[in-house]
Amino acid sequence: MKELLETIARALVQFPEDVHATEEERDGELVLTLSVNEQDMGKVIGRSGRIAKAIRSVMNAAASKADLRISVDIK
């Protein structure tokens, strides 16, 4: 899951070398935290959060296929 999130984020940003994701297990849910360069934050979040919502939708679809509960935080 972490690799999928990083691949999606790297395709969107100007500084792909600064894209990092971490995985953590909390209350039976996989929590992915995505960190990007400060200048790329707007590209990852998008207008009114549309890009972030789309990223979360793709990740939820992949997680449901693997029978996981997932949440994505963006820093």
Alpha carbon 5 to its chain's center:
5
Average pLDDT estimate for 61-73:
94
How many structural domains compose the chain? 1
- Please tell me the distance from the alpha carbon of residue 65 to that of residue 22, in angstroms, as a whole number: 20
Q: Which of 65, 69, 67, 58 is nearest to 29 (CA)?
A: 69
Mean pLDDT of 15-31: 96
What CATH code is carried by the domain that includes residue 28?
3.30.300.20
Residue 73 pLDDT = 96
pLDDT of amino acid 33: 97
Q: What is the mean pLDDT of the chain?
A: 96
Helix ranges (DSSP H) in the chain: 2-12, 41-45, 50-65
Q: What average pLDDT score do residues 22-33 get?
A: 95
pTM here is 0.93
Domain range for 70? 2-74
Q: What is the mean pLDDT of residues 3-31?
A: 96
